[in-house]
């Protein structure tokens, strides 16, 4: 597959020296526009990319959190004229080899927000992590009024028109809450959601996730505030409860989609 024009990858990186180089080489095989935002790393993350061509490296002198890191990357991508932004992590959890399918899906539905949902090999994920994700999915689906699957996957494609205009600063420093806010905002703006099956990846030697158990409760508190502002969104509760009998998202193979012009 040829490299997709108009799509920029934004990769937040905080102390990812062990994995970031391999990730970027993999992404560069599919995209010409790659933006890495080093969020005040102290382990040589930036140095690991020093000799790679075709990579824009932005740096926060101090750790500002994932939310601000994403905003920095989004702003730079939009300034370069990107029509969409694909986000993935620098720790190797997201496989660049999945990009061709995600980009093919975007080419056919350029106005949709795409989530690479970790629906395959879920048994590799620790049980407590799976439970935390289910709790987050329930609350976010309620607030969004739409069934949201794998709400904690950071492997997404955002249409540029949804990201622009960007807030000057994130509503929350915490990146996981900010990414939740983006999903709820997209649902309320009637942005279509599509999902692509990807493998769950957990492997020996992987650095501890930046996601902590208390991040789930931060998300719940944030979403509860959103619900209170909307009178508890009573129409969204049955949608969220439908997760009890619909555990697997309807995922789409790019070949089954109509073209953007159809």
Q: What is the pLDDT of residues 87-133, one digit of tens each?
A: 999 998 899 999 999 999 999 999 999 999 988 765 556 567 778 88
Nearby residues of 106 by Cβ (< 8 Å), 6 or more positions away? 4, 7, 84, 86, 112, 114, 157
196 pLDDT band (50/70/90 cuts)? very high
211 pLDDT band (50/70/90 cuts)? low
**What are the structure tokens assigned to 257, written together?**
């989609």
Task: Name the phi and psi angles at 156, rounded to 5.
Answer: -140, 160
Residue 250, pLDDT score: 57
Cβ-contact 128, 139 below 8 angstroms: no
Give me the helices (H) in the chain, please.
20-28, 66-79, 99-108, 127-144, 160-163, 175-188, 213-229, 236-241
% of the chain residues with pLDDT over 70: 79
Which one has a higher pLDDT value, 254 or 161?
161
The CA angle 259-260-261, to the nearest 5 degrees, is: 90
- Average pLDDT, rounded, for the chain: 85
- CATH number, span 7-256: 3.90.550.10
C-alpha distances in angstroms, 131 versus 124, 141, 150, 195, 236? 13, 15, 11, 20, 21
């Amino acid at each position: 597959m040829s490299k997709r024009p108009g799509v920029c990858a934004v990769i937040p990186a905080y102390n990812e020296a062990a994995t970031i180089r391999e990730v970027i080489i993999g992404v560069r095989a599919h995209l010409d526009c790659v933006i890495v935002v080093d969020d005040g790393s102290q382990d040589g993350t930036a140095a690991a990319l020093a000799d790679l061509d075709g990579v824009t490296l932005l740096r926060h002198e101090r750790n500002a959190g994932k939310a601000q890191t994403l905003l920095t990357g989004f702003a730079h991508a939009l300034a370069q004229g990107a029509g969409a932004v694909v986000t993935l992590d620098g720790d190797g959890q997201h496989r660049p080899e999945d990009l061709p399918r995600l980009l093919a899906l975007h080419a056919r539905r350029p106005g949709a927000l795409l989530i690479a949902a970790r629906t395959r090999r879920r048994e590799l994920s620790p049980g407590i992590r799976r439970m935390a994700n289910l709790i987050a999915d329930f609350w976010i689906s309620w607030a969004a009024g739409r069934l949201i699957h794998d709400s904690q996957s950071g492997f997404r494609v955002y249409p540029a028109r949804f990201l622009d205009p960007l807030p000057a600063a994130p509503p929350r420093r915490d990146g996981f809450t900010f990414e939740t806010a983006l999903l709820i905002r997209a649902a309320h703006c009637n942005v279509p959601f599509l999902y692509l099956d990807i493998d769950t990846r957990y492997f020996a030697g992987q650095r501890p996730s930046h996601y902590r158990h208390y991040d789930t409760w931060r998300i719940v508190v944030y979403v509860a505030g959103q619900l209170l502002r909307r009178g508890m969104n009573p129409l969204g509760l049955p949608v969220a409860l439908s997760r009890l009998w619909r555990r697997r998202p309807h995922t789409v193979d790019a070949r089954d989609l109509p073209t953007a012009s159809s």
